Amino acid sequence: MEAARLRYRGLSGSAKRKLLDELQEISGYHRKSLLRFLNRPDDQAATSLEGSPGEPEKPHHLRRYGPEVTEALVPLWEASDRLCGKRLQALLPLLVESLESHGHLRLESGVKESLMAMSSATIDRILAPIRKASRGNGWRRPPRAFSAVRRRVPVRTFKGWEDHHDPGWLEIDLVAHCGGRMEGRFLWTLVATDIATGWSESLPIVMRDGAVVLTALQLIRRQLPFPLRGIDADNDSVFMNELMESWCACPGQEIVLTRSRAYKSNDQAWVEQKNGMLVRRVVGYQRLVSLEAAQILGELYGALRLFTNLFQPSFKLKSSERDGGKIRRRHHPPRTPLQRLLATGQVSQEREAQLRDLQRQSDPLRLLETIRRCQSQLAVLASGEHEAGLGANRSVTDRTEESQSLEVFLGDLQTLWQSSQPRPRKARSRSGKRTRPDPFEADVALIEDWLRAEPLLGTRELLSRLMALRPECYGDSQRRTLQRRLRSYRLRRIEEEMDSAQISKGHLDGF
């Protein structure tokens, strides 16, 4: 190797490559290692057949902290709930003293001094392999909130409904009537939406409990005009529990239970849309607490289910395609949920006759009047304006007698839309008076003269002239005010020129 190094300097490029190939084949060293050895000066060249040729031994860093310090640091790190190096360094004196006083720790004087002298970077470096090997990357995390039922229930995303064209697959969700405050008791609404037809059902719930939700779901199942095949819910514990799981798996019905992903509301886009249209848009966001409000909600949803499913056409998404940054969505023609249900051919003739008869007997105006009346009653209950003597014992019949009649409602139907429109904002009129004195009032004539002579004069140059003329009156903080003055001046000049042009044109026309 030493002889080859001496020969290497006087060789040509091709000869150097041949020599490198030969040395690499004979010695087995890497080509870069051979190049480093062959290009070294004479005083640094050395041949070592046991290691890399010419590689000087690297100085080993002397360990300041031995394994006994690491063994003492790990339990202290665990006792601090796995703090980071900076926080653990500040805690070590207090933590060691506390553990020693309670008899949990005994350290030798040398180990204790090493721990106190250790920097935060050294603590992180020593604990790095231990933190990497520990579960959760070294940080303690709370146990997973997923129960055994959640682990057993399969996940269904938004794309999971593409192959389900038959009615009976529902998405369900809860809507809180809390008024922005989750404290205390308040009413809830259980919303269920069929994926294929858009048929929707809503029921009020007096308390958030799994048994109450299951009872309401059984009532919704009896109201549906088609058999229930599957239920898709979110990860709420009122849905993901053993009671719901056993009911869905009951022999004879075998309802498929699925759930959405956590914090992915688009997985339940169908029912989320109905939450806004059937609950928030109709009931609002006010807080509802009493049983009287629950009765009114039940009456409201009874009329709303018929009005929406029988007389309200809606669009249904057909396809969604992405074209660069745009998403092109195509929809089916608007139809009512009843029309979509009958078009599927999954309804028996007897059931179809019942549904058509129900549609003929239902009066949409009477249903709409019931919805409006219940909305006004809920608004009174939510605002607390109802009389103290009228409480939960007040019947629905008494409230109906005190409400407006159907004839009055029909008479006001032409102007009803005006009351539901948002109030237009009144434009704030300016008085035209300045609230502050004009800082350029003394030099208005001078500024206008400068602008007539130089129309393209900018704000910066104009302000610099004024500052040079009167530095005690002007400064950089007045630049924005001067910009507004220049804008108004130029607009006034444009109006004057347009007026003069119109006058000249009139003279020419008369001539």
- Please give the pLDDT value at position 490: 75
Burial class (CB in 10 A: 0-12, 13-18, 19+), 397: exposed
The alpha carbon torsion through 391, 394, 396, 400 (nearest 10 deg) reads: -90
Residue 416 neighbours by CB distance under 10 Å: 12
Quote the CA–CA distance of 326 and 119 in Å, as a whole number.
54
pLDDT at 40: 81
Cα separation, 429 vs 453, in Å, equals 36
**Predicted local distance difference test score (pLDDT) of residue 393:** 42
Hey, what long-range contacts does 482-490 have (CB within 8 A, 24 or more apart)? Answer: 482/440, 483/459, 485/440, 485/447, 486/451, 486/459, 486/462, 489/447, 489/448, 489/451, 490/451
The identity of residue 260, as a single letter, is: S
SS (H, E, C) 340-352: HHHHCCCCCHHHH
User: What value, to the nearest 5°, has the Cα angle with vertex 137 and ends 134 and 138?
Assistant: 65
- State both tokens at 278: 């059937």
368 CB neighbour count, 10 Å cutoff: 18
96, two tokens: 């060691």
DSSP 231: E
* CA–CA gap between residue 201 and residue 341 (Å, rounded): 14
Instruction: Find, among 273, 275, 164, 274, the residue nearest to 229 by Cα.
Output: 164
How far is it, in rounded angstroms, from Cα 168 to Cα 254? 13
Determine how many CB atoms are found less than 10 A away from the CB of residue 111: 17
Mode of pairing for the β-strands spanning 326-335 and 314-323: antiparallel
- Report the pLDDT value the prediction gives residue 67, as an integer from 0 to 100: 86
Contact between 289 and 206 (Cβ < 8 Å)? no
d(CA 224, CA 200): 9
Q: Is 145 exposed, middle or buried (0-12, 13-18, 19+ CB in 10 A)?
A: exposed
Number of Cβ within a 10 Å radius of residue 189 = 22
Give me the tens of pLDDT residue by residue for the chain, a chain 511 residues long.
Answer: 888 888 888 888 888 999 899 998 888 899 898 888 888 876 665 544 444 544 555 555 667 888 888 888 988 888 887 888 888 888 888 888 888 888 888 888 888 888 899 999 999 998 998 888 875 555 555 444 456 888 899 998 887 777 677 899 999 999 999 988 888 889 999 999 999 999 999 999 998 888 899 999 999 999 999 999 999 999 998 999 988 999 999 888 889 999 999 888 888 888 998 999 899 999 999 999 999 999 999 999 999 999 999 998 888 888 888 888 888 888 888 889 999 999 998 889 999 999 999 999 988 888 989 999 999 999 888 887 444 334 444 444 444 444 445 555 544 544 444 444 444 455 555 555 666 778 888 888 888 888 888 877 788 888 888 888 888 888 888 888 888 888 777 777 776 766 665 444 443 343 3
Looking at residue 59, its pLDDT comes to 58
Contact 474, 467 (CB under 8 A): yes
Residues 115, 121, 125: CA angle, nearest 5 degrees: 85
Q: Start-end ranges of CATH 3.30.420.10 in the chain?
A: 148-361
Among 367, 221, 220, 216, which Cα is nearest to 306's? Answer: 367
Q: Rounded CA gap, 56 and 484, in Å?
A: 75
Rounded to a whole number of angstroms, the CA Rg of the chain reads 41
Tokens of 439: 């800082």
Give φ, ψ of 431 to 5 degrees.
-75, -20
Structure tokens at 7: 């020969």
pTM given for the model: 0.52
The span from the CA of 387 to the CA of 433, in Å, is 50
State the architecture of 148-361 in CATH terms: 2-Layer Sandwich (3.30)
Angle between helices 479-510 and 459-469 (to 10 degrees): 110
- Check: CB of residue 96 under 8 Å from CB of residue 111: no
Residue 106 and residue 75 in contact, taking contact as beta carbons nearer than 8 Å: no
Measured at the CA of 114, the angle between CA 113 and CA 119, to 5 degrees, comes to: 120
Q: Comparing C-alpha atoms, which of 445, 449, 483 is closest to residue 463? A: 483
